[in-house]
Amino acid sequence: MIKTTKLVFQNLKFLFLSLIIFSSMIVTLLIISEYIFLEPYFVTHIPSGTEFGFFLITAISILSALVIPMNLFRITNLKSSKQKMSGSIFGSIVGSVAGACSCGPIGFAVISTFGSVGATATAFLTNYETPLRIIAIIILLITYFTTIKSLKTECRIDL
Amino acid sequence: MNKKGAILGIIVISVIIGLVASISSSPSETYELDMTRTHGDISTAMGSPILGDPLAPITIVEFGDYQCHQCYNWFHNTKPMIMRDYIETGKANLVFVDFAFLGKDSPKASQATYCADDQGKYWEYHNSLYNSQESKIDSGWANSERLKAFAFNLDLDMELFNECLDSEKYSKRIQYNSQQARDNGVRGTPGFFIVGPDDQKQIAGAQPFSVFQRIMDSMI
How is chain A classified by DSSP, letter by letter? -HHHHHHHHTSHHHHHHHHHHHHHHHHHHHHHTTSEE-SSS-EE---TT-HHHHHHHHHHHHHHHHHHHHHHHHHHHH---SHHHHHHHHHHHHHHHTTTSTTSHHHHHHHHHHHHHHHHHHHHHHHTHHHHHHHHHHHHHHHHHHHHHHHHHHHT---
Q: Which residue in chain A is spatially nearest to B209 when comparing CA positions?
A: A45
Distances (CA, A) of B58 to B18, B86, B95, B212: 49, 9, 11, 11
Provide the pLDDT for residue A22.
95
pLDDT in tens, A111-146: 888 888 888 888 888 888 899 999 999 999 998 988
Judged by CB atoms closer than 8 Å, whether chains meet at B103 and A119 is answered as yes
What average pLDDT score do residues A12-29 get? 94
Looking at this protein, which amino acid is placed at residue B139? S
| A chain contacts of residue B79, beta-carbon cutoff 8 Å | none
pTM of the model: 0.83
pLDDT of residue B30: 57
Average confidence score pLDDT of chain B = 89
Average pLDDT of span A8-17:
90
Q: What is the pLDDT of residue A61?
A: 94
Q: Given pLDDT bands bounded at 50, 70 and 90, which one contains residue A3?
A: confident
Cβ within 8 Å, pair B137-A111:
no
> Residue B59: enclosing H or E segment and its boundaries?
strand B58-64
**pLDDT digits 0-9 by tens, A25-58:** 999 999 999 999 998 999 999 998 899 999 999 9
What 3-state class would DSSP assign to B151? Answer: helix
Predicted local confidence at residue B24, as pLDDT: 45
Question: Which of A103, A122, A123 has the CB atom closest to B70's CB atom?
Answer: A103
For range B28-36, the mean pLDDT: 66
Q: What is the pLDDT of residue B31?
A: 61
Is the pLDDT score of A96 beyond 80?
A: no
Q: Which residue has the higher pLDDT, B51 or A5?
A: B51
Burial letters A98-130, b for 16+ CB under 10 A, else e: bbbbbbbbbbbebbeeeeeebbebbbebbbebe
Q: Mean of the per-residue pLDDT values for chain A?
A: 86
pLDDT band at A151 (very low <50, low <70, confident <90, very high): confident
Which residue among A34, A40, A122 sits closest to B206, beta carbon to beta carbon? Answer: A34
Residue of A nearest to B214 (CA): A41
Contact B203 A40 (CB under 8 A): yes
**Percent of the residues in chain A that have a pLDDT greater than 90, as a whole number:** 38
Average pLDDT over residues B28-55: 84
The mean pLDDT value for A74-94 works out to 73
- Mean pLDDT along residues B127-147: 94
Q: How many angstroms separate the CA atoms of B187 and B185, rounded? A: 6
CB contact under 8 A, B208 and A47: yes
DSSP type of residue B25: H
Could you tell me where the DSSP H helices lie in B78-170?
A: 79-82, 105-117, 122-132, 144-153, 158-166
pLDDT of A83 reads 63
How high is the pLDDT of residue B2?
Answer: 63
- From A108, A126, A127, residue closest to B187, measured CB to CB: A108
CA distance B66 to chain A (A): 11
With cut-offs at 50, 70 and 90, classify the pLDDT of residue B3. Answer: low
Alpha carbon distance B4, A111 (integer Å)? 48
